[in-house]
């Protein structure tokens, strides 16, 4: 199958590696990234995977369209055009207007209702054969907006070949948070529960396994706000589990879905789930794991196999292709 995927995330290493897995299943994949976001991966061509960069008309995550996309779709003749951009985005509407025999799919994370978005959704979704929803809340919204068919999948899977414990790195940070140091990520609550926690800023994707391998217990304690909820598959917690960390997460946004609902009742995540805002409970959970190395190691040992079974790149790539072949 020939797949053309277009959108601003596609020059990031995480997306490129995922579509490398898709291509490895026997498909031919062309990635198209806007020049405005020509980030970690420069244009390349290898075997059945290629990344091209096109100039943009206008700017902004939702405001740009791709110059030359129509000709590229005609030349490549894909079976599917897969948009990595929200249904209200200019790129989504650009692809909706394309005259092509290819089927069309769009990925969305939007799990918060914004009434004005629905006008844009209705205008675009009628032209799409599939909406790939990054969480269960997004699926509910897309069904209400008239999506023909939906599937809930993460945007990409976890690259377990890359994310694994690095034995040369001492696991000498007892409690850590890794990622964007924003209040909605629960940093104030974490420091209240455990003042000695290390807040480690984001590093390059290629360096993340070494960063995860430093932590004994990794915390992802996101908090819902009026205008924000955790949307994505919790990459930090899942990548950390693949790297041998014991993990504590909150129940904010989409986190419980990915750690319990998605894998099913018989295979819940080994992450410890603490109610968001429950600072004392978080402190007790941290104290318990640090005081019981055997329990901490048990959770760490269970984490990687769980990620491999449920959220690894090969698993998600096959499920995406199943959705395309439906």
Mean pLDDT, the chain, as a whole number?
91
The per-residue pLDDT for 247 is 97
Residues 182 and 135 in one domain: no
Residues 319 and 247 in one domain: no
User: Which stretch of 4-13, 183-192, 212-221 has the lowest confidence by average pLDDT?
Assistant: 4-13
Residues 151 and 6 in one domain: yes
Residues 118 and 136 in one domain: yes
User: Which H/E stretch holds residue 300?
Assistant: helix 293-310
User: Domain limits at 37?
Assistant: 2-157+312-324
Residues 148 and 222 in one domain: no
The per-residue pLDDT for 39 is 60
Query: Please, are residues 110 and 141 in contact by the beta-carbon 8 Å criterion?
Result: yes
Q: Is 168 contained in some domain?
A: no
The per-residue pLDDT for 13 is 87
Residues 243 and 135 in one domain: no
Secondary structure, 3-state, 47-74:
CCEEEEEECEECCCCCCCEECCHHHHHH
Structure tokens at 75: 């030349």
Residues 96 and 193 in one domain: no
Structure tokens at 15: 């997306």
The per-residue pLDDT for 220 is 95
Q: Is 28 contained in some domain?
A: yes
**pLDDT tier at 101 (50, 70, 90 boundaries)?**
very high
Determine what percent of the chain is predicted with pLDDT higher than 70.
Answer: 94
Residues 201 and 89 in one domain: no
Residues 181 and 286 in one domain: yes
User: Which stretch of 37-51, 76-90, 169-183 has the lowest confidence by average pLDDT?
Assistant: 37-51
**pLDDT tier at 219 (50, 70, 90 boundaries)?**
very high
Q: Is 167 contained in some domain?
A: no
**Residue located via tokens 């100039």:** 55
The per-residue pLDDT for 196 is 97
Residues 23-58 have pLDDT tens digits of 999 999 999 998 876 566 677 888 899 999 999 887
Q: Is 162 contained in some domain?
A: no
Determine what percent of the chain is predicted with pLDDT higher than 90.
Answer: 69
Residues 78 and 204 in one domain: no
The per-residue pLDDT for 62 is 67
Residues 104-132 have pLDDT tens digits of 999 998 877 765 555 556 668 889 999 99
* Mean of pLDDT values over 180-195: 93
Q: Is 316 contained in some domain?
A: yes
Residues 125 and 180 in one domain: no
The per-residue pLDDT for 228 is 84
58 C-beta neighbours (distance < 10 Å), count: 10
Query: Please, are residues 157 and 312 in contact by the beta-carbon 8 Å criterion?
Result: yes
Say which CATH number the domain at 47 has. 3.40.50.2000
User: Which of the two residues, 263 and 276, has the higher pLDDT score?
Assistant: 276
Structure tokens at 266: 């018989």
Residues 221-248 have pLDDT tens digits of 999 988 888 877 889 999 999 999 999 9
Q: Using CA atoms, how far apart are residues 81 and 72, in angstroms rounded to an integer?
A: 11
* Mean of pLDDT values over 84-99: 90
């Amino acid at each position: 199958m020939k797949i053309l995927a277009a959108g601003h995330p596609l020059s990031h290493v995480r997306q490129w590696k995922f579509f490398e897995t898709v291509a490895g299943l026997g498909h031919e994949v062309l990635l198209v990234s806007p020049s405005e976001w020509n980030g970690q991966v420069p244009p390349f061509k290898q075997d059945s995977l290629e990344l091209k960069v096109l100039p943009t008309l206008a700017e902004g995550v939702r405001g740009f369209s791709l110059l030359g996309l129509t000709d590229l779709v005609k030349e490549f003749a894909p079976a599917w055009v897969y948009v990595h951009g929200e249904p209200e985005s200019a790129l989504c509407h650009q692809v909706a207007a394309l005259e092509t025999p290819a089927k069309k799919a769009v990925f969305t994370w939007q799990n918060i209702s914004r009434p004005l978005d629905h006008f844009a959704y209705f205008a675009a979704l009628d032209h799409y054969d599939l909406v790939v929803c990054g969480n269960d809340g997004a699926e509910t919204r897309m069904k209400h907006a008239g999506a023909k068919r939906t599937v809930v999948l993460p945007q990409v899977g976890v690259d377990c070949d890359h994310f694994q414990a690095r034995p040369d790195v001492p696991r000498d940070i007892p409690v850590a948070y890794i990622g964007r140091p924003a209040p909605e990520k629960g940093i104030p609550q974490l420091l209240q529960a455990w003042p000695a926690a290390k807040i480690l800023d984001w590093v390059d994707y290629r360096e993340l396994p070494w960063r995860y391998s430093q932590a004994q217990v990794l915390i992802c304690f996101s908090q819902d706000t009026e205008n924000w909820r955790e949307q994505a598959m919790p990459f930090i917690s899942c990548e950390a589990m693949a790297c041998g960390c014991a993990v504590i997460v909150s129940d904010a946004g989409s986190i419980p879905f990915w750690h319990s609902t998605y894998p099913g009742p018989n295979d819940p995540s080994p992450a410890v789930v603490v109610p968001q805002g429950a600072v004392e409970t978080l402190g007790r959970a941290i104290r318990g794991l640090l005081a019981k190395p055997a329990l901490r190691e048990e959770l760490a040992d269970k984490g990687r196999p769980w990620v491999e079974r449920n959220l690894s790149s090969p698993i998600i790539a096959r499920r995406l292709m199943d959705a395309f072949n439906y």
